[in-house]
Chains A and B, each alone.
Chain A
């Protein structure tokens, strides 16, 4: 069965600093990997996804993530964090076939300080 681990429950960064949110997954086949962001009181917005091909994927809002099969990781990065990036970030894994539910990590809460 799939599983996702986000080791960091809460991260605080200064505005303008770089950011890396960690995600490790466990899946027996080719993983389909996603990062979603949830702003306070809001729904889930898809930031980016990886299915195949280039292991460095670009997303919205200046985010990128790198798939490393050898480390079973899909870490999310941003070179310069803005105060509006403060939110909850979820990594998720899906299966190759469609209509398969996503398995989510427990989320990482990002706080941004001036």
Chain B
């Protein structure tokens, strides 16, 4: 009965590669988010989708491209990975009319 799930949990890859992280929620929420947690544990919003539409796109390199095939899924594709992309990426979801966000377990990305 997982609420917000992410795959993979760990991802180790070489610089220059392209990788994707998947997120799924079974809470019936219509808003989904991607946050990045850096090496100092600081969490910052990257993207937000509501009903499959992009509503927030913070200052993120265009190598990062989110895709929402339906309301329950928000995937993150990263092109040409760089060392600085190493971080923990968290997916979250909420109802449009609710402020409470529920987070996935995170994907730990290490770029070598």
Contacts and interface: CB of A to CB of B under 8 A. Distances in A.
Contact of B104 (A36, A43, A94, A103): A43
Interface string A90-102: 1000111011111
Interface string B21-52: 00000000011010100001111110010100
Contact of B42 (A38, A42, A107): A107
Contacts of B48: 99, 101
18 contacts: A34-B100, A43-B105, A43-B106, A88-B41, A94-B101, A98-B31, A98-B95, A98-B97, A98-B99, A99-B30, A99-B48, A99-B55, A100-B99, A101-B33, A101-B45, A101-B48, A103-B45, A106-B40
B56 A36 contact: no
A30 to B, nearest CB: 11
Contacts of A38: 41
Interface of A: 32, 34, 36, 38, 42-46, 49, 51, 88, 90, 94-96, 98-104, 106-107, 109
Interface size class of B (residues with CB under 8 A): 20 to 34
B96 interface: yes
Contacts of B30: 99
A51 B104 CA distance: 23
Contacts of B104: 43
B99 A90 contact: no
Nearest to A96: B99
